[in-house]
């Protein structure tokens, strides 16, 4: 004689319906939270500050140092070019923007080309290949900030 099939292996229809309702409720609550966050974003533009093409660091980097340091900090709005600075290989540009168009070109002892090209607000870091005496050209239609980190050269 065979035993009756185990009924507890699969949820009963009522239990399956409650599981479905619970999953649907979680989905609706999650979608509502995302919509609320999207609609309550701060869309006010930050106060514009004119571009200052000269470095503004609290402590000037030691040109004899072999440790990475902040070589240049710069913020502004719109297009500008930096003063020339010296940097050893392995340097980094950390950038942020809230404009719709943002680009950084590099030139110096060799043409570094376009180092960053970004559409929309955002930020990131890039690690250019060149070294030596460098000058950056920032092209933007909104507020931005950059920080150059590396081993300074005299």
Beta bridge partners of residue 85, listed in sequence order: 134
| Same domain (yes/no): 73, 27 | no
Residue 116 domain flag = yes
Residue 44 domain flag = no
- The domain tally of the chain equals 2
Q: How far apart are CA 145 and CA 123, in angstroms?
A: 9
Weakly modelled stretches of the chain, pLDDT under 50: 43-50, 52-58
Strand-strand pairing, 132-140 and 85-87: antiparallel
Residue 136 domain flag = yes
Q: Which domain, by its residues, includes 31?
A: 11-39
Residue percentage of the chain with pLDDT more than 70: 64
Q: Which of 52, 58, 121 is nearest to 81 (CA)?
A: 52
pLDDT at 73: 96
pLDDT at 44: 46
| Same domain (yes/no): 73, 35 | no
Contact 43, 125 (CB under 8 A): no
| Same domain (yes/no): 79, 139 | yes
Residue 110 domain flag = yes
Q: What is the DSSP letter of 118?
A: E
Residue 90 domain flag = yes
pLDDT at 132: 93
CATH label of the domain that carries residue 134:
2.60.120.1540
Residue 145 domain flag = yes
Reading the block at residue 2, the tokens are 């065979």
Residue 83 domain flag = yes
pTM above 0.75, yes or no: no
Please write the tens of the pLDDT for every residue from 48-88: 444 544 444 435 555 566 789 999 999 999 999 999 999 99
pLDDT at 52: 47
Q: Which helix (H) or strand (E) holds 1?
A: none
pLDDT at 50: 46
Q: How far apart are CA 153 and CA 36, in angstroms?
A: 50
Query: What sign results for the dihedral spanned by CA atoms 42, 99, 152, 128?
Result: positive
Residue 6 domain flag = no
């Amino acid at each position: 004689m065979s035993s009756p099939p185990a009924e507890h292996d699969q949820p009963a229809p009522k239990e399956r319906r409650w599981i479905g309702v619970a999953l649907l409720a979680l989905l609706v609550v999650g979608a509502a939270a995302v919509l609320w966050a999207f609609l309550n974003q701060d869309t006010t533009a930050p106060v514009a500050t004119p571009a200052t093409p000269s470095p503004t660091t609290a402590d000037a980097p030691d040109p004899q140092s072999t440790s990475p340091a902040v070589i240049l900090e710069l913020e502004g709005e719109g297009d500008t070019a930096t003063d020339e600075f010296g940097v050893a290989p392995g340097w980094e540009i950390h950038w942020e923007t809230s404009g719709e168009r943002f680009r950084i070109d590099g030139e110096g002892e060799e043409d570094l080309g376009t180092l960053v090209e970004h559409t929309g607000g955002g930020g990131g870091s890039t690690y250019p290949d060149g070294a030596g005496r460098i000058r950056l050209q920032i092209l933007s239609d909104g507020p931005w900030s950059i920080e150059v980190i590396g081993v300074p050269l005299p």
